[in-house]
Amino acid sequence: MIQQTLGKIYREQSFHPTWLGVFVNPFFIARRGLAGAVREFAHLVHGRLLDVGCGTKPYERFFHVDEYVGLDIESARSRASAAADQYYDGHQFPFGDAAFDAVLCNQVLEHVFNPDEFVGEIHRVLKPGGRMVLTVPFVWDEHEQPFDYARYSSFGLRALVEQHGFAIERQRKINANVSVIFQLINAYLYKVVPRPLIVHLIVCATVMAPISCLGVLLSKVFPDNEDLYLDQIIVAKKLSQ
């Protein structure tokens, strides 16, 4: 029972970190900023929503929509998580044209080797006037190797989206302040600390937590830097055909 309770707390703090999460989540700064940005823009979408690359659907709670459909790439890992409602082959989504009012795509585009085809599929399954909420990392280490293919500047992301029939309504850089440096220190420590979970938890609570707290504190003091940031989020509308 205790182990199950701790596991539940750990999973909750992984994507929705409160101040308790600073002691167990090495990516506290990044995940806190990302969750806040998705929550802020979630009210802009309605109707039937498709979560592309849904994983465990960590941000489903933020969206008050008529239907929430999770789509993930066909793999043993995605099947094991049992969270997706549908799967696709990496090329074509298994839905008809204009099937959804909204699309969420969270931290997926960097893992897509065929971005033009991918964004084109999002455009295809959206209704005219439908909105896409898209997040991508900018300053981050390689992850989920070997399926990590790209990083997008704000200009590159805007160009990619606009070239596929979208008009950008919102675009924001997340953690565009000194906290990015402290998050990267913890990301480095996460990769070099020995793998047993208990070791990670001890290091996170005793070493990484103070680093995260210092990063958050100094971000309130030092000026922002819009050229250096962890992630970005956009809201884009499909242009009427």
Local confidence band at 6 (pLDDT 50, 70, 90 cut-offs): low
Residue 21 CA from chain centroid, whole number: 17
Local confidence band at 1 (pLDDT 50, 70, 90 cut-offs): low
What are the tens digits of pLDDT across the range 112-168?
999 999 999 999 999 999 999 999 999 999 999 999 999 999 999 999 999 999 999
CA pair distance 68, 139, nearest whole angstrom: 30
Mean pLDDT of 19-42: 96
Predicted structure pTM score:
0.94
C-alpha dist (Å) from residue 210 to 21, 141, 169, 230, 239: 12, 21, 37, 19, 46
pLDDT reading at 95 higher than 70: yes
Domain edges within the chain: 2-238
Q: Answer with the residue of higher pLDDT: 56 or 241.
A: 56
Token reading at 228: 């250096």
Residue 3: its pLDDT value, please?
59
What are the tens digits of pLDDT across the range 34-46?
999 999 999 999 9
CA pair distance 150, 177, nearest whole angstrom: 22
Residue 241: its pLDDT value, please?
63
Mean pLDDT of 88-104: 96
The domain 2-238 belongs to what CATH superfamily? Vaccinia Virus protein VP39 (3.40.50.150)
Q: Looking at the chain, how many residues does it have?
A: 241
Return the SS3 of 151.
coil
What are the tens digits of pLDDT across the range 156-209?
999 999 999 999 999 999 999 999 999 999 999 999 998 888 898 899 999 999
69, β-bridge pairs:
50
pLDDT reading at 75 higher than 90: no
Cβ neighbours for 32, distance < 8 A, ≥ 6 positions apart: 17, 21
What are the tens digits of pLDDT across the range 229-239?
999 999 999 99
Greatest Cα pair distance in the chain: 55
Residue 209: its pLDDT value, please?
98
Residue 220: its pLDDT value, please?
97
Read off φ and ψ for residue 126, nearest 5 degrees.
-85, 145
